[in-house]
Structure 1
Amino acid sequence: MSERVVPPAARRRRRPTKQGVVLSEELIVETALRLIEEHGADALSVRRLGRALGADPSSLYRYFRHTDDLMLAITDELIGRTLSTWRPTGDWRADLRDLGLRMHAGALAHPRAAVLSSYRVTGRVHEIQAVETILGVLRDAGFPDPDAVRIYHAFVDQALAFGAFDSASVALPQAAREAETAVWRATYARLPADTHPHIAATAHHLVTDMSHSSYPAALDLLLSAATTRLSQTKDKS
């Protein structure tokens, strides 16, 4: 999808497509998201999208200028889906933990899209809402503005990075995932203590732990550090 601009007033398609549906930004994003999970990044072509929608590919330019514009819309849609399921309780640490876990789960629900979108900044409505919401949680908890921004930055980057990392693993063929998990049992658990004492001493824990995402543990470490930071701030005041 190359650069091409259609005036906003002319973007809405009034006639149904060949499949009897009326195009909209929401329908195109939903279809693109489904195709990405089925075919990867190659799904973002006007020809493939047009075929899936039963529409002339050129009609997509009424809604998105190019594929990157569509990718940003997909990214924002994933953010919006996470926010729609999250309800704050007023406990800043519990709320951020819940939100982080929901962000991670949302990435795993759409692994290929998560890998493509994790590093993007959209400047769109759901992302703006997320930035405002997370900063609000931190500032209301009592974090000074510089700390609120640093913790926001670390929190979001951590969630997105783990989401992309774990999504890449999920997107592997099942045989490859099983083979990688087996390495901990077949190789690490059998290393002798005389040559690899630390691995041998912790082999049971490695076999148990390494097959799962470390995101919850990493998130708890981040929130513990933030809690300590907040306590130090209050002690100084």
Structure 2
Amino acid sequence: MSKPPLDTAASATASRSRSKRSGSQLTPEAIIEASLRIAARGSADAFTVRRLGEELGADPTAVYRHFRDKDELLLEVADRTLGEVLDSIPEGLNWQDRIRALADGSLAVALKYPAVASAMASRTTRRPNEFRVVELILGAVTEAGLSGTDAAVHYRMVGDSLLALVGQRAAYLLFSPEARAADESAWNREYRLVDPEAFPQITKAALELAGVSQDQVYDARVEALITAIERRAVELRGGA
């Protein structure tokens, strides 16, 4: 068998050397940044070692030198995205607007990194930025007039609701374009063709249902959370 040309062999050797060097020089920060880049491209497999190896130009198993497993990496990446949310919230807002800003930032970051938000809808990072989010929400409900169990319950109501809402929106982006198109056309197709005698309320509201946007629904749900906190605060003040 003939040998490859010298320049080809040298190129291959250099390429292998670069891969080895990048593998040995990886840092947790580099791996987190690579995961975020993959997630920002809308990929559902941002946390597979194969994809990370390709993104980093390194042996995929090098990831395990810095993270115990993919779940530990996910939690670190998710906490980083919470930092992005917090950075988007202006100073000096009242408690209602802090919750609105948190909701807006959470949705924006979830749509930017759908694989992260969808995976974290029912998880907790147990890391610094999550603690900051919890502190922000507790501060808001306390400023509203809640304390003790009421503050804890309403903090959970806000936190869990936002996780679920943005997780739902993020997961939707990971569906195929065909699946999303079929769902989005349902209000103008299947729902307009239902039997009006069997489904009179759907028939009556068909036009309005088709015109509702996801953002309108999201905003209404956030306002409902704020209203629930305000109502409970009024009750605790004796209905004044």
TM-score, reference length from structure 1: 0.82
Identical-residue share of aligned pairs (%): 31
Provide the residue aligned with 2:105 in structure 1: 102
Whether 2:182 is the aligned partner of 1:179: answer yes
Tell me, which stretches of 5 or more residues in structure 1 are unaligned? 1-14
Which structure would you say has the larger Rg? 2
The equivalent residue for 1:226 is 229
Cα gap change, 1:21 to 1:65, in 2 (>3 Å): closer
* C-alpha contact 2:43 2:174 (8 A) present in aligned 1: no
Match of 1:45 among 34, 44, 48: 48
Q: Equivalents in 2 of 1:111, 1:54: separation in Å?
A: 24
Distance 1:153 1:96 in 2: 13
8 Å Cα contact 2:196/2:203 also seen in 1? yes
Aligned length: 222
Which AA in structure 2 matches 1:103?
S
Question: Could you say if the C-alpha distance between residues 213 and 114 of structure 1 is closer, same or farther in structure 2, counting changes exceeding 3 Å?
Answer: farther
CA separation of 1:190/1:55 partners in 2, compared to 1, >3 Å: closer, same or farther?
closer
| C-alpha displacement of 1:46 | 3.3
Aligned-pair CA distance for 1:20: 10
Residue 136 of structure 1 and its aligned partner are, at CA, apart by 1.6
How far off its partner does 1:16 sit?
9.8
The alignment's C-alpha RMSD in Å is: 2.7
Does residue 170 (structure 1) correspond to residue 170 (structure 2)? The answer is: no
CA contact (8 A) 2:89 2:102 kept: yes
Residue matched to 2:12: none
Given that residues 16 and 22 in structure 1 are in contact (C-alpha distance below 8 angstroms), is that contact kept between their aligned partners in structure 2? no
Matched residue type, 2:176: P
Structure 1 match to 2:121: 118
Q: Does 1:151 align with 2:143?
A: no
- Match of residue 76 from structure 1: 79
Q: CA deviation at 1:39?
A: 4.0
Query: How far is the alpha carbon of 1:212 from its aligned partner?
Result: 5.3
- Is 1:29–1:74's contact at 8 Å kept on the other side of the alignment? yes
SS in 2 for 1:154: helix
Deviation at 1:140, TM superposition (A): 2.7
- Residue identity in the other structure for 2:127: R
SS of equivalent residue, structure 1 residue 40:
coil
Q: Is the 8 A contact 1:189 1:207 kept in 2?
A: no
What is the deviation of 1:236?
6.7
Partner of 1:10: none
Is the 1:104–1:160 Cα contact (8 Å) retained in structure 2? no
Alpha-carbon separation, structure 1, partners of 2:208 and 2:48: 45
- Tell whether the 8 Å contact from 1:18 to 1:54 is kept in structure 2 after alignment: no
Paired residue secondary structure (1:172): coil
TM-score by length of 2: 0.81
